[in-house]
Amino acid sequence: MKYYIIAGEASGDLHASNLMSELKKFDKNAEFRFCGGDMMIAQGGTLVKHYKEIAYMGFLEVFLHLPDILRSIKFCKTDLNNYKPDVIILVDYPGFNLRIAEYAHNNKFKVYYYISPKVWAWKQSRVYKIKKFVDKLFVIFPFEIDFYKKYDYKVEFVGNPLLDAIEQFNNNNLPDKFCNEYKLGDKPIIALLPGSRNQEIKYNLPVMFKIVKFFPDFQFIIAAVSSIDLEFYKKQIEPKQADIKIIFNRTYDILQLSEVAIVTSGTATLEAALFNVPELVCYRGDNISYQIGKRLVKVKYASLVNLIMDSLIIKEFIQYDMTIENLVNELEKIINNIEYKNNMINNFEKMRKILGGKGASKRTAKLITKQ
């Protein structure tokens, strides 16, 4: 079959690439055309637009780049018509993908959605578009089953693909080689995960970085993504501390070796937890987007870990609470209070069981190829 896949960010690129790998096992004639990233490129097929061209977040940033976004949507619609795929697979990224879903449905394409938009957090009205325009939705969090049930919409819970991605990494991991490659010393590591978009990094990394001087016994590593230029990262940190390591596309290697992680809210909060890395979560954005979002968000927590557990397992420091003092105090507590640290890790293990077993990509591929 011919598959057209749209993933609009780094995590979508990861999960879509693993899905592509499994689709090829069930469909020997699988042919791919996609908007995505480097990991999808590695699976083969034709890249028509890299996700960094469409990855905008925050109300203000989206507003400022609206003409570019609309041009990209128009491009994808035209490309769909020319390619005429058997199946369209949309991966998260709702602002863009739901527009494509509507167009695709109206033009008689089969539409599957892998990884639900976070409609349970905000913009719940999007559920009605999903019901109308998406033939099948594959969800990765157990609580999403009950959420959609309230709207009389049956979804397929396939498990969380991060379990597969991390297991695959662990099976092929060579930590000594990584340490030698990047000349890591003996100091314990604190990982900084400032996000995968310019906007996130611009607002969060400078604050994260200012805590480095408070922990001279640790080495800090920024987990960088290739879609962002090195110079952009360097602009966010003080020149006198420019020797901090910035390592691209090795987030899992960094997490596996880290003592603690400071994570911008998002998928990375769950990834750190699945590596049993104690963490604190923070997020700062432009004030306009924050004020609008605060009035629209419907969930108690910003972190996926806390949402899954329905409890404050890891501390969250959002917008005005993201201060140097707060981050330093929490980091010291994690490092110095063994009971506090172990309790966090025990909760991570409980969360892992809630997420179900491995095989999300395989289950999804099987369902897609059989329908």
d(CA 301, CA 47): 35
Whether 306 shows a pLDDT value over 60: the answer reads: yes
> What is the pLDDT, as a whole number, of residue 370?
87
> What is the pLDDT, as a whole number, of residue 205?
95
Measured at the alpha carbon of residue 343, what is the angle toward residues 341 and 346, in degrees to the nearest 5? 115
Least confident segment among 52-66, 233-247, 294-308, 334-348: 52-66
CATH 3.40.50.300 fits 2-160+357-370, yes or no: no
> What is the pLDDT, as a whole number, of residue 56?
57
> What is the pLDDT, as a whole number, of residue 247?
97
Q: What is the mean pLDDT of residues 53-58?
A: 62
> What is the pLDDT, as a whole number, of residue 314?
97
The residue type found at 80 is L
Task: Name the pLDDT band for 201 (thresholds 50, 70, 90).
Answer: very high
Whether 173 shows a pLDDT value over 90: the answer reads: no
Measured CA distances, 163 to 15, 43, 255, 271, 356 (Å): 11, 20, 15, 9, 9
Whether 297 shows a pLDDT value over 80: the answer reads: no
> What is the pLDDT, as a whole number, of residue 202?
93
Percent above pLDDT 70 for the chain: 91
Taking the complete model, does pTM exceed 0.95, yes or no? no
Three-state DSSP state, 284: coil
C-beta pairs of 321-327 under 8 Å, 24+ apart in sequence: 322/204, 322/207, 322/282, 322/283, 322/284, 323/207, 324/207, 324/210, 324/211, 327/207, 327/208, 327/211, 327/262, 327/280, 327/282
Task: Name the pLDDT band for 93 (thresholds 50, 70, 90).
Answer: confident
Whether 293 shows a pLDDT value over 80: the answer reads: no
What is the tens place of the pLDDT at every residue in 234-289?
999 876 665 689 999 999 999 999 999 999 988 899 999 999 999 999 998 776 66
Yes or no: say if 368 and 89 are a contact pair by the CB < 8 Å rule. yes
> What is the pLDDT, as a whole number, of residue 268?
92
Whether 299 shows a pLDDT value over 80: the answer reads: no
> What is the pLDDT, as a whole number, of residue 298?
62
Query: Which residues are 35's β-sheet partners?
Result: 6, 49
> What is the pLDDT, as a whole number, of residue 65?
57
Question: What element of type H or E holds 156?
Answer: strand 156-157
d(CA 309, CA 28): 39
> What is the pLDDT, as a whole number, of residue 213?
92
CATH 3.40.50.2000 fits 165-354, yes or no: yes
Whether 49 shows a pLDDT value over 70: the answer reads: yes
As a dihedral over the C-alpha atoms of residue 281, residue 282, residue 288, residue 292, rounded to 10 degrees, the angle is: 20
Residue with tokens 């011919």: 2
Cα 321 → chain centroid: 23
Whether 112 shows a pLDDT value over 60: the answer reads: yes
Residue with tokens 């592509």: 20
Residue with tokens 């690439």: 17
The residue type found at 178 is F
d(CA 269, CA 347): 14
CATH 3.40.50.2000 residue window(s) in the chain: 2-160+357-370, 165-354
> What is the pLDDT, as a whole number, of residue 212?
93
What is the tens place of the pLDDT at every residue in 138-149?
999 988 999 999
- Give the chain's mean pLDDT: 90
- Please tell me which residue, 261 or 357, carries the higher pLDDT value: 261
- How many other CB atoms are found less than 10 A from the CB of residue 111? 22
H-state helical runs in the chain? 10-26, 38-42, 59-64, 66-83, 94-106, 126-133, 143-149, 161-172, 175-181, 198-209, 230-235, 251-257, 267-274, 287-296, 304-309, 324-336, 338-354, 360-370
d(CA 206, CA 324): 10
Q: Which two tokens stand for residue 33?
A: 């055309």
Whether 152 shows a pLDDT value over 90: the answer reads: yes
Q: Which two tokens stand for residue 183?
A: 């000349």
d(CA 329, CA 324): 9
